[in-house]
Amino acid sequence: NQVIKSDDLTKETTHSTVQGDTVWVEGLVPGIDFCNHDLKPIATWEVDGTGITTGVPVSMYLLSATQSPSQIVREISISYGNKGNEELLYLYGFVIDGNKDDYLMVHYPTEAINTISLSESKGQLLEVQNAEMRCLLPKTLLDNGFFPLGTENSGENKKSNNACNYSWSGQRKFPSYVNKLVFPEKFMATLRTIAMQEDELFKVSSMLEE
């Protein structure tokens, strides 16, 4: 691999300092941000904090993913990361057919709680629980439906170990339920609370009061 050093590709990022701390400002990076997304990119972008590589501290540059970067005669593409179609559409305005990193958003509308029995008591209990009203399920985990066929993961399901992270904030963390075909426990707890009968709700409320 070889670093492509070009004035068009290496640009200093916008930053300022406050009492010695670097404050990052979100914005476009000329050259790099003009590169399109590809599942098999021919380059990756890197941050050069010290300036050792580019000669410019706190700058960005492209790193060739091919063996002979000087022979590249096609469009330079990069990867925007392992993102689902919802995230790609929200951030970049396009989707990918057959995206293996796609997710399904399962959401219980807050407004719907007002239509169920004992809605006021259940709403208070959900607030105490800090209940999760939605979850993201990786599409690859839903090949057999929402529930597993057995207790053991099949060979296909084990592929989920390589499942990508999901976050629009840029700080991407693996979901705790990434290797399961079922809903996450916190989301299930929310659904159980919503489905409680009057006697069950009374018992739980009594326990919390104690």
- Is residue 191 in some structural domain? yes
pLDDT tens per residue across span 20-38: 677 777 777 777 778 888 8
Q: Are residues 134 and 188 in the same domain?
A: yes
Q: Are residues 12 and 70 in the same domain?
A: yes
Count of the separate structural domains present in the chain: 2
Residue 132 falls within a domain, yes or no? Answer: yes
In contact, 53 and 61? CB cutoff 8 Å: yes
Q: Return the biggest CA–CA distance within the chain.
A: 73
Asked whether residue 154 is assigned to any structural domain, the reply reads yes
Q: Which pLDDT tens digit goes with each residue over 150-166?
A: 544 444 444 444 444 44
pTM > 0.95: no
Q: What is the DSSP code (8-state) at residue 208?
A: H
Q: Does 187 fall in a domain? A: yes
| Element holding 209 (H helix, E strand) | helix 198-209
Task: Give the domain extent around 174.
Answer: 103-209
Query: How far is 51 from 58, CA to CA, in rounded Å?
Result: 6
The SS3 assignment for 122 reads: helix
50 and 129 part of one domain: no
Q: Are residues 179 and 129 in the same domain?
A: yes
